[in-house]
Structure 1
Amino acid sequence: MYAVPRLPSILAISVATLLVASSTAAAETSTPSQGWTATWSASPQRPGTNFTPNWSEQGFTDQTIRQVVRVSAGGSTARIRLSNAYGSAPLKIAGATIARAESGAAVEPGSLRQLTVKRARAFTIPAGAELATDPVALGLADLDSVTVTLYLAAPTGPATYHAQAMATSYRAGGDHRADSGAGAFDQTSLSWYYLSGVDVTGRASRRGAVVAFGDSLTDGYGSTPGADNRYPDELAERLAATGRPRAVLNQGIGGNRVTVDSAWLGDKATSRFRRDVLDQPGVRSVIILEGINDIGMSEAPSPIGAPPTDVPAEEIIAGHRELIRQAHAKGVRALGATLPPMKGSRYYTARSEAKRDAVNAWIRTSGAYDAVVDLDRALASPSDEDQLDPAYDSGDHLHLNDAGYRTAAHAVDPADLG
């Protein structure tokens, strides 16, 4: 689903500079035999206008980007993945570092490490490629925050990014990749740039990763900015609290649809599923929460230029079947999440509600999914099953607040994750 524009006051999450090998090398080093498991991820998007101002269209020249992300499961060794998936030219990284985060754009003293690719501190990512850095010794605990800093000396052109970070990224003029303090980082953005993954070796690798795949309900719109209260964050916390942590990856894109491509709202789910789910290192299972935008945008246009496109329930179901087919072909367990209530939102009409009911009935009863996460019932109002419980409503009757995302995470049975 998509988010209505607003300007949240977002806490610091600095992704700072990353290093990467070649697409082929990345694929080779991501094999299970190498022991890598993704512990944080974000879905790449095309540069463009979005719900909040961002730097993607202008790109970067002689600037440093610092971004902080929270890993879901820890490890003894780390690497970073950077994406130039939507770049029109090779991306030159003049240098990159990784460190344990402190507060804002500051890093923990003594934890800063230089990132390299094939032992070189400067490297180039071809247009359309994702690359992984060399391994670096940086012990990370479950739910640790890390800072990745990239120095971009040459003009980058428009930047591959992730629009709705629900967190703050930082920018400084000049080369500040090795700064431990935050003083130079005087510009902020609510998006992530180039950073597509953090991988670890260690405990997380033994259990494998869970990918949360979907739209803004997965991306976390409506949660407290900078607080890591999206439902995949809450699920990672829940699993860590049991003493059996698992890597939980967030591959949501606000406004994303199962059946329709969009320049601003991401490639359709059936197209991006391989890259965003099946190609993630160490993936074992996926939770699919998609379809509310296909339904809602059949009735109402997006405020950022996506016109209504009528999508029947049967087409959404066919898209889900294709996602399941792709997952099972790779030996990945597929869990289907029912679409939460939306009565009172701009998406709601009698026709859209009938579609939602049809899709949910199929998810629950078809047996096509390996397991079902029934968010519709978990999040419904006790007095009206077609409406979100007011305790979980962020205010637009479509997106969840922190309590709603916590409840969504608790609707997942850990035993169903495999």
Structure 2
Amino acid sequence: MVVRTAGVDTAARAGTTGGVDTGTRWRAGWSAPVQRPSGGFEENWAETGFDRQSVRQVVRVTDGGSGARIRLSNRYGTGPLTVDAASLALAGEGAAVRPGTVRPLSFDGASSVVVPAGGEVVSDLAELPVEPLSSVTVTLWFAGPTGPATFHAQAYATSFRASGDRTADVGAGGFAERTHSWYYLSDVELTGGDAPASGTVVAFGDSLTDGFGSTVGADRRYPDALAERLRSAGHSWAVLNAGIGGNLLLNDSPWYGERASARFDRDVLDKPGVRSVIVLVGLNDIGFSEVDLPTYRPNPQVSVAELTAGYRELVERAHRRGVKVIGGTVLPFKGAEYHTPRAEAKRVAVNEWIRTSGVFDAVADFATVLAAPGDIETLDPAYDSGDHKHPNDAGYRVMAGAVPLGSL
């Protein structure tokens, strides 16, 4: 068993890794921002964690390669996390994987690893041909109690749980429990391949980026549609989704993650090969101040000036790292529970600033393309998932079409 004493693999963040994979160049394949354990939204396993159980998770990579590795995070763990075994495979139907593709994962040559509280680990290279826009399955086995689990709440994908060590299983038998969250898994990185990605685009924000309202398990969030659009246009770029449902630009929340400004480096600027980021955040800062939610307190009034200062800070930090920033306008939300005249006035002012300030390198005018005909305050019913603020699958595809590809 490997015990990691350092919290962050800084060499890996720079694009190379220590240990047995020294010198390998790694690229982004898939990523999800991690959150502290919490309930809500729908049933999940974060607060109870795992004990003598395997969790199997399916994710779609936007790049391809001849080898892969995973990154596991114990950022919000209160003690060391023991991962007793792990495997990687090409996804099949449901919890099944494609026969002949299961690869046991190692960590500095060992089959198990201890992740320190607050830290993360990266696996060794696993030789596995992976096609762009294909799905892989990661299975983790915990022989003892993990305690509450660092996770990503709203995955809009199905994860599976079973008793015993199932890391070598090809079939879905035993994986009777399901949830729509990801646990401990924060990244899948790739290497090799015939046409490696020429860079990484990160979509950063709240539930509108995370994919609330999209079809579960169908990969129809707007970053998914953007990745498909880029591939169709001949661009071999990785696209990462760094959205967290409920996330705010300026304030932390136990349910909705650290504020965007606090997680920006970790979830955007430190990703391999990042060249541009699409920022779409602020709706919750505006809306949460209009309602009293048990999941978000206190609910301070946030001014337009505070929001624009927050955007400007993100842009300045990205530019210092040579990363372009595309500003996304805040979508219409009349009819939603926190739409008020004051909230609408803020949205209009913020969007006007995003479009005209010149702070951003480019603008993705999501608000305009998704507004109802003749009513800029309302989400077009053709694109409304039903809550008057989140798009459906068709709306997310329209959002992807509004991103100016030349700006990336």
Q: TM-score range by the shorter chain?
A: over 0.9
Amino acid corresponding to residue 394 of structure 2 in structure 1: A
Q: TM-score, normalised by structure 2?
A: 0.95
Amino acid corresponding to residue 31 of structure 1 in structure 2: A
Structure 1: gaps spanning 5 or more residues: 1-18
CA distance in 1, matches of 2:82, 2:196: 31
Q: 1:398 is matched with which residue: 373, 389, 393?
A: 389
Contact residue 37 and residue 283 of structure 1 kept, 8 A: no
My pick for the range that moved more, 158-167 or 27-36, is: 27-36
- Match of 2:51, SS? coil
- Match of 2:215, SS? coil
Contact residue 257 and residue 268 of structure 1 kept, 8 A: yes
CA distance in 2, matches of 1:191, 1:101: 17
CA distance in 1, matches of 2:8, 2:109: 14
CA distance in 1, matches of 2:196, 2:232: 18
Give deviations 1:38-66, integer Å, cap 9, x for gaps.
Answer: 11111100001121111111111110000
By how many angstroms is 1:241 displaced?
1.6
Contact residue 52 and residue 144 of structure 2 kept, 8 A: yes
- Structure 1 residues 81 and 170: CA distance shift in structure 2, 3 A: same
Aligned to 2:325: 334
The correspondence of residues 1-20 of structure 1 with structure 2, limited to 5 A, is none
Amino acid corresponding to residue 378 of structure 2 in structure 1: Q
By how many angstroms is 1:323 displaced?
0.8
My pick for the range that moved more, 90-99 or 33-42, is: 33-42
What is the aligned-residue identity percentage? 56
Q: 2:35 is matched with which residue: 30, 45, 58?
A: 45
Aligned to 1:351: 342
By how many angstroms is 1:75 displaced?
1.2
Structure 2: gaps spanning 5 or more residues: 17-23
My pick for the range that moved more, 160-169 or 307-316, is: 307-316
Contact residue 382 and residue 389 of structure 1 kept, 8 A: yes
Aligned to 1:362: 353
- Match of 1:207, SS? coil
Is 1:64–2:54 an aligned residue pair?
yes
Aligned to 2:19: none
The correspondence of residues 176-215 of structure 1 with structure 2, limited to 5 A, is 176-202=166-192, 205-215=196-206
- Match of 1:318, SS? helix
Contact residue 74 and residue 184 of structure 2 kept, 8 A: yes
By how many angstroms is 1:301 displaced?
2.9
Give deviations 1:212-232, integer Å, cap 9, x for gaps.
Answer: 000000000001111100000
Contact residue 380 and residue 386 of structure 1 kept, 8 A: yes
Contact residue 22 and residue 132 of structure 1 kept, 8 A: no
Amino acid corresponding to residue 220 of structure 2 in structure 1: N
RCO comparison, higher one (Cα < 8 Å, 6+) = 1
CA distance in 2, matches of 1:233, 1:315: 31
CA distance in 2, matches of 1:306, 1:218: 23
Is 1:78–2:68 an aligned residue pair?
yes
CA distance in 2, matches of 1:299, 1:204: 49
Give deviations 1:53-105, integer Å, cap 9, x for gaps.
Answer: 11111111110000000101111211101110100111111000000001000
- Structure 1 residues 20 and 98: CA distance shift in structure 2, 3 A: farther
Contact residue 204 and residue 246 of structure 1 kept, 8 A: no
CA distance in 2, matches of 1:283, 1:20: 30
- Equivalences, count: 399
Contact residue 338 and residue 374 of structure 1 kept, 8 A: yes
By how many angstroms is 1:171 displaced?
0.3
Q: Which runs of 4+ in 1 moved over 6 A?
A: 19-22
- Structure 1 residues 20 and 79: CA distance shift in structure 2, 3 A: farther
Amino acid corresponding to residue 28 of structure 1 in structure 2: A
Aligned to 1:154: 144
Is 1:407–2:390 an aligned residue pair?
no
Aligned to 1:127: 117
